[in-house]
């Protein structure tokens, strides 16, 4: 596995957003989230990007795993969380969801993608970093 650096994560983010743009270009807007999820998985496979999907996120409290059914849409290369939406308006709850998953998975970066928009690059995606990102080497 390639060592994770800020540069690597930035390049990976670029590839994932490019994949989402391709899906959006082919499928358009107005479909259910599940359709975009399947299409994005196909595009990532096509680009040979490794990912886990619908992965159960463990929640530990005092060394005990709690029964909380958190599942992230995509966990890419075990360092980038991707949450997919297809909504008219993004909610702060979606941001909180992504940031929670990032923290629990110790993932330095996450992307929130909304396919129900006219332009993924300009208004359909937002990237987040946390304290783990700043601990990574730049290159």
What's the pLDDT tens digit per position in 47-103? Answer: 999 999 998 999 999 999 999 999 999 999 999 999 999 999 999 999 999 999 999
- CA dihedral sign, ordered 98, 99, 105, 111: positive
pTM strictly above 0.75: yes
What is the rounded distance in angstroms from the CA atom of residue 48 to the CA atom of residue 16? 11
CA distances from 17 to 41, 84, 95, 105 (A): 13, 11, 17, 21
**CB of 53 closer than 8 Å to CB of 33:** no
Q: For tokens 């709690």, what's the residue? A: 66
Domain boundaries, the chain: 6-135
Chain segment 89-127, per-residue pLDDT in tens: 999 999 999 999 999 999 999 999 999 999 998 889 999
DSSP reduced 3-state for 117: coil
């Amino acid at each position: 596995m390639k060592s994770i650096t800020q540069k690597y994560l930035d390049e990976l983010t670029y590839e994932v957003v490019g994949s989402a743009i391709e899906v959006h270009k082919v499928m358009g807007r107005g479909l259910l989230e599940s359709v975009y999820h399947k299409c994005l998985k196909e595009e990532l496979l096509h680009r040979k990007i490794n990912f886990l999907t619908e992965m159960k996120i463990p929640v530990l409290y005092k060394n005990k795993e709690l029964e909380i059914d958190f599942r992230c849409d995509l966990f890419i290369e075990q360092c980038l969380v991707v949450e997919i939406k297809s909504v008219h308006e993004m909610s702060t709850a979606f941001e909180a969801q992504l940031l929670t998953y990032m923290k629990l998975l110790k993932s330095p970066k996450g992307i929130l993608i909304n396919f129900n928009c006219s332009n993924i690059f300009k208004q359909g995606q937002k990237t987040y970093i946390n304290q783990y990102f700043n601990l990574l080497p730049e290159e």
